[in-house]
Structure 1
């Protein structure tokens, strides 16, 4: 895909992996639409991109609310009339033992990590299918494959995103739309430091490695697609 002047929507773009992906795409000539809950942080991302000659639009949205998601995509369609790239990156984590884990926290995790991804894919396809063009990249986690103690709800949500991606890829392939999933593990972000305080920061993956993986996927020829990519820290353990 030629990225110049393409329109991309990145969720969870105010910090961490999403912010880094936004900067990387903007450097390649993509007009990035950044979304997250915190408007002040989004505007800072937009400012940084625009100051370097890139193009960015900030649309705040709380992806735990269906109305916000519907309004977000309605705004994207009204302003641009197209959407070639969707990066489903937004996610939350609440951790604890399953035996006494509040069901309210389980619902919060599923609402953002799975339901929002589902709804964003659904709304993006309403724009992409008529154009018979597009690439959706979902950010899951190696946690969805391995599983860690005290992360059962989070693990379940990330495993579900993998299944959603595989099924959707088969469902919409006839329209020329690609759907891929990236499974990072041990990325040096605030979120990872909270989830895995036991990890040595010096061996964590920089967010730029995830951004470069996104660029690799988007740069493939029309005859190729990648279903899933695992990217994890170097260790003698499987994950």
Structure 2
């Protein structure tokens, strides 16, 4: 279902975003991968070494409107269309409110919320013109409930949920599907943690989240999956 579809994936240098890129490539998608550091080019190199023929990589700041607009324009020039946008780029930290600086607050909203807005806004005109497209945002289970010492991060995920809900209502008349994927604890480098640490052995893996992206993106055209929530079996969380 995804063969020859063109997908933009942000935050694809490592972790969940990188795994999403590899899964999409295995399903035949053409890729435009975005990362904030030069590491993104290594991801592209690895994909090509594994046989993915259609991969472009861009070092860009998802919160920079000009950079993202240029990236979308280059993707259209290279591939001719954009079928899927995966808003995956995100950062996080966890500390009490009084210890959170204004600079930290602004930065996390720039990446987690402004980045989603800018990337989505950049692809919408093209998707509306073609009257098709899928926009998937990797949010978090804390976009559905709150946790202590996570006010800034949680606030961004509530914002993303609200944005995606409104976007879905605006975009549906153009045949554009919008959904969020809300994972619980995932074994990645998130919040400067160590991937593969012993205490994370029973957490979700990046491939679990990537599989959810494939499921959402490859659903038949008459089917809309608004939201997927997934947790490791060991995680306890509020029932909402």
Question: The TM-score by the shorter chain falls in which range?
Answer: over 0.9
Q: Whole-Å Cα distance in 1 between the matches of residues 121 and 6 of structure 2?
A: 17
Do residues 45 (structure 1) and 20 (structure 2) align?
no
CA RMSD for the aligned pairs? 2.0
Q: Whole-Å Cα distance in 2 between the matches of residues 108 and 203 of structure 1?
A: 31
Partner of 2:111: 112
Cα shift at 1:73:
1.5
Q: Whole-Å Cα distance in 1 between the matches of residues 133 and 237 of structure 2?
A: 33
Q: TM-score, normalised by structure 1?
A: 0.93
Answer yes or no: is the 8 Å Cα contact 1:186–1:192 preserved in 2: no
Partner of 1:232: 231
Q: Whole-Å Cα distance in 2 between the matches of residues 141 and 201 of structure 1?
A: 17
Partner of 2:22: 23
Answer yes or no: is the 8 Å Cα contact 2:82–2:123 preserved in 1: yes
Answer yes or no: is the 8 Å Cα contact 2:185–2:204 preserved in 1: yes
Cα shift at 1:114:
0.3
Deviations 1:100-130 (A, max 9, x none): 3211110100011001101111111111110
Cα shift at 1:199:
8.8
Answer yes or no: is the 8 Å Cα contact 2:94–2:153 preserved in 1: yes
Q: Whole-Å Cα distance in 1 between the matches of residues 94 and 74 of structure 2?
A: 34
Partner of 1:163: 162
Q: Secondary structure at the match of 2:81?
A: coil
Structure 2 unaligned residues grouped into runs of 5+: none
Deviations 1:176-231 (A, max 9, x none): 11000000110110116739xx9921111011111111111122111111101101
